[in-house]
Amino acid sequence: MRTTRGKPTYERIVLGDSKIGEAMAEALALEEQVDRYAHRFHTYPAGLHPDAARDLLQLFEGERVLDPFCGGGTVPVEVRAAGRIALGQDLSTIALRVARARTASPDEAFLTRLRSRARKLTAIAREAREDPPEQVYQGVHEWYAPHALWELESIRQGISESEEDLKPLLKALFSSILIKVSWRRSDTSGGRERHHRPAGTTAILFHKKTRELARHLAAYRDAIPEGTPEAKLRIGDARHLRLEDPVQLILTSPPYPGTYDYLPLQHLRRIWFMEDRHDEAHEIGSRRSWRAGGKQARRDWAGASAEWTTSAAAALEPGGHLVVVIGDGLTPAGPIDSSQVTEQAARVAGLENVARASLERPDHARGTSRWEHVFAFRKPLS
Ligand X SMILES: C[S@@+](CC[C@H](N)C(=O)[O-])C[C@H]1O[C@@H](n2cnc3c(N)ncnc32)[C@H](O)[C@@H]1O
Given the rule CB under 6 A, which of 16-24, 127-135, 201-209, 281-289 is the region that contacts ligand X? 281-289
8 A C-beta contact, residue 211 and residue 176: no
Applying CB under 6 A, does 92 fall inside the site for ligand X? yes
- The answer for residues whose C-beta is within 8 angstroms of residue 378's C-beta and 6 or more apart is 319, 320, 321, 322, 351, 352, 354
Q: Which residue is nearest to ligand X (CB)?
A: 71
Degrees (nearest 5) of the Cα angle 250, 251, 252?
115
Instruction: Tell the smallest beta-carbon distance from residue 40 to ligand X (Å).
Output: 12
Applying CB under 6 A, does 302 fall inside the site for ligand X? no
By beta-carbon proximity to ligand X, the closer residue of 199 and 243 is 243
Closest CA to 357 of 29, 59, 50, 22: 22
Site string for ligand X, 55-74 (x = CB under 6 A): --------------x-xx-x
Applying CB under 6 A, does 283 fall inside the site for ligand X? yes
Q: For 153, how many CA atoms within 13 A lie in the half-sphere containing its CB?
A: 20
Applying CB under 6 A, does 371 fall inside the site for ligand X? no
Q: Which amino acid is at 85?
A: I
Instruction: Tell the smallest beta-carbon distance from residue 301 to ligand X (Å).
Output: 10
State how far the Cα of 280 lies from the Cα of 251, in Å rounded to an integer: 24
Residues 228-247 close enough to bind ligand X by CB under 6 A: 237-239
State how far the Cα of 225 lies from the Cα of 244, in Å rounded to an integer: 24
Of 91, 181, 312, 351, the one binding ligand X (CB under 6 A) is 91
Q: Please count the residues of this chain forming the interface with ligand X, following the rule CB under 6 A.
A: 23
State how far the Cα of 134 lies from the Cα of 136, in Å rounded to an integer: 5
Distance of CA 186 to the CA centre of its chain: 16
By beta-carbon proximity to ligand X, the closer residue of 92 and 103 is 92
By beta-carbon proximity to ligand X, the closer residue of 96 and 155 is 96
Site string for ligand X, 15-44 (x = CB under 6 A): -----------------------------x
Closest CA to 84 of 106, 62, 55, 51: 62
Residues that bind ligand X (CB under 6 A): 44, 46-48, 69, 71-72, 74-75, 90-92, 95, 237-239, 253-255, 262, 282-284
